[in-house]
Structures are given as C-alpha cells and as structure tokens.
Amino acid sequence: MDFNASQPIYKQIIDDFKKKLIRGELKEGDKIPSQRDYAEQVRVNPNTVQRAYREMESMNMVETLRGQGTFISISADRLEEIKMEMAVNLVDYYISEMESLGYSQEDIFKILKQEQSFREGERR
Amino acid sequence: MIEFKDVSKKFGSTIALNDVSLVFPRGKIIGLFGPNGAGKSTSIKLIMGLNRPDRGEVRVDGENPQNKKQDMAYLPEIDHLYPWMNIAQAADFTRTFYADWDETKYRELIKFLNLQENMKIAKISKGQRAKTKLLLTVSRRAPYLLMDEPLSGIDILTREEIINTLIRDYREGEQTIIISTHEIAEVESLVDEVIFLDKGKVKLSGNAEDLRVERNMSLVELMKEAFRDAN
C-alpha cells in the first residue's frame, strides 16, 4: 500500500479497509492482521495503526476480541452507508475538479453521458 | 518524558540552542528535523548527559540526565566502533556495560539484518557499519532510544532495512524513540511527533498526523514551508 504523505496515514489505512469491504475482499467475521503485523507489512508506525484500528472500532467496522484478534464486524446497513459515503466523496471530488476548470453542471452531465455510451460501445 | 526548559547552549561563539523549551512525550517515535547546524545533535547530547546546558535545564522523567544513562540507548552519528573488533566482540563490549542487553533479540536481529558475528568492523561496508550500530543499540531494552542521523550516507535498501527493524522492534507505549535526520521523506510513516529545528530554535512541532490534517501537507512539504518563511 502506498501512502500519500500529505494525508493523515491512519485515515488512509481506514479507507483501505473500507475499499476492501466494498469490493467484498473482506466480509463479516473475517480476521484482519494484528496491529503489529499490519504495521510491519505496510511499514508504518505501530501507534498510527493502533489509532486506525481504534477508530474503526468506534466506527462499527471491526471488533477486537480479547486474546483472539480483530475481526470484521459490520452490519449490512453500516456497509451500505460506507458504500454511499465513498461514492459521494468520489463524485464530490469529480464535480468540484470539473467546476474549478469551468465546466457547467450541464457540461458535466453531457460528458458523463458521452463517456458512458463510449464505454458501452467499447464493451460490445 | 523528556523536558527542555529555556535551554541555551553555545560552543565558543556558535549558538547551538537558543532558549529552547520542548517536551518529548513518552511512548512515541519523535522525529527531530532540521538542516545541518540546526541543533539536532546538541539536543540529543544534552538528553544523553554528554553535554550540559549553559542556561535552562534538561529533565528526563523529572531527573538530571546524568542519573538516567542506564535508561538510554544511544546511536551516535560518528563511527564509534573499534575497527579491530568483530561484531561479536563489539557486542560483548556493549553487553558488559548494560544490564538491559537482550541476547535473544540480538541473535534475531543479526539474522534479520544479514550480518555475521565474525565480520570485522574495519573490513565491512558503510551500510553494514550503520546496521551494526543499529544492532548494538536496539539489542538493549532501553526505555529511550536516541539516534543521531542513523540514515545519513547510507544506500536506500539499507535505509529501508533500518526502518523495518525499528518498526518491527518498537515496543508501543513503553519505548520512546528520538531520531534526528534530514532524510524526512524516509521517515514520514515512522514518526508520531515532529520537531523542526533551525539555527538553535524550534520552528514547528506537533503530532505528525494532526499536522497533516491541519495543513494538508506532507512533513517534507511542511519543512520546506517552515524554512521558506525563515528566509
């Protein structure tokens, strides 16, 4: 995992877990690496990993069982929320970048439509 | 916890530290950053009790640093190993001085770092010497680990090995690591707290993650900005 050094690393760790949940690479009940193993794998300060894990617990994404490890523990509703939140963030980013270049709302929709039909054509 | 209270230190007419007040919190990995001559080595030597401040005071867990030497493992910038020794002899030498020597860890690390006990200090490469220094420092279970430029002049692969070793062996919460370096990019993901020094003064300090949240910048960018303002 490559980090963007200008963003908080613990947030990037959380985002990485969110993406894995959305893609279905991780699901309810799966065991995730111990904080120490994870820190070594991604070469990050163990205190930072601890912060990310603690945050994920309070966000109702994971649960730590004493002596057993940390497991994905997420309700279907919560997962839906995370999916939505991720999608809205991406769309927000896209729109604000486009607007900063001077595209209007209509232009943006038009381009999206064009792109969509282009991609469908490619697929065929 | 290590505390500097209004600390000043001069060497002849050169001001190394100028009225510095600082706190190094316990249980964190702290980066001490700044260009050459900023006061990084002086700060570390004051903590080690190798120098005394001209004014102000330095406290380690509330005590005079002179009384806390057994709690500190120090990796100096200079080449302090005797060239005629091999690694095993250098380890023996360190072992006799410190009660907190951890033999199991030493055995493990020597393998992890790809070193051999019969390697002679005079004959090994600069990178291997850097790794040997690290080996001897980290094999102690000292609550404070002070490292002065452990990455300078070392190839990128060896630097990575050194950082991996630090992450692997770091005891969260109980161990405090202070690492002085100008290779900030290399330690972005390693440090909890940062202190930027320039010309004997603190330019900026704080929690690395909080600084990224506040400023949307990497530590390298923060350092550049802090020093652009100065000039």
pLDDT per residue as tens digits for the range B175-204: 999 999 988 988 999 999 999 999 999 999
- State whether A9 and B209 contact (CB < 8 Å): yes
Question: Is A99 part of the contact surface with chain B (CB cutoff 8 Å)?
Answer: no
**Between residues 48 and 77 of chain A, which touch chain B (CB distance below 8 Å)?**
48, 50-51
Whether residue B165 has pLDDT greater than 60: yes
Beta bridge partners of B15: B10
- Give the number of A-B residue pairs with CB atoms closer than 8 Å: 59
Q: Which two tokens stand for residue B196?
A: 């930027």
pLDDT digits (tens, 9 = 90+) for A36-60: 999 999 999 999 999 999 999 999 9
Q: Which two tokens stand for residue B193?
A: 């707290």
Closest to B1 (Cα-Cα) out of B129, B189, B175: B175
Closest to B100 (Cα-Cα) out of B146, B140, B73: B140
Exposed/middle/buried for residue B80 (C-beta within 10 Å: 0-12, 13-18, 19+) = exposed
To which residue do tokens 């057994």 refer? B70
Q: Which two tokens stand for residue B77?
A: 């910038």
Mutation target to probe the B interface, by most B beta carbons within 10 A, among A2, A4, A6 is A6
Query: Does this complex have an ipTM over 0.85?
Result: no
To which residue do tokens 């393998």 refer? B111
Q: Which two tokens stand for residue A84?
A: 């939505």
3-state SS class at B68: helix
Q: Report DSSP letters for A20-67, one per residue.
A: HHHHTSS-TT-EE--HHHHHHHHT--HHHHHHHHHHHHHTTSEEEETT
Whether B110 and B117 have beta carbons less than 8 Å apart is answered as: yes
Question: What percentage of chain B reaches a pLDDT higher than 90?
Answer: 70
Beta bridge partners of B177: B29, B145
- State whether A47 and B221 contact (CB < 8 Å): no
Q: Which two tokens stand for residue A88?
A: 């809205």
pLDDT digits (tens, 9 = 90+) for A55-108: 999 999 999 999 899 999 999 999 999 999 999 999 999 999 999 999 999 999
Whether B29 and A45 have beta carbons less than 8 Å apart is answered as: yes
Per-residue confidence (pLDDT) for residue B198, from 0 to 100: 92
Q: Which pLDDT band, with edges at 50, 70 and 90, does B231 fall under?
A: low
Q: What is the pTM of this model?
A: 0.85
To which residue do tokens 């290779």 refer? B183
Q: Which two tokens stand for residue B25?
A: 């919190």
Category of B206 on φ-ψ map: left (φ > 0), alpha (ψ -120 to 50) or beta: left
Mutation target to probe the A interface, by most A beta carbons within 10 A, among B209, B216, B221, B224 is B209
Which residue in chain A has the smallest CA separation from B217? A6
CA distance B187 to chain A (A): 9
Distance of CA B167 to the CA centre of its chain: 14
Q: How many CB atoms lie within 10 A of CB B140?
A: 23
Whether B223 and B196 have beta carbons less than 8 Å apart is answered as: yes
Closest to B145 (Cα-Cα) out of B18, B24, B57: B24
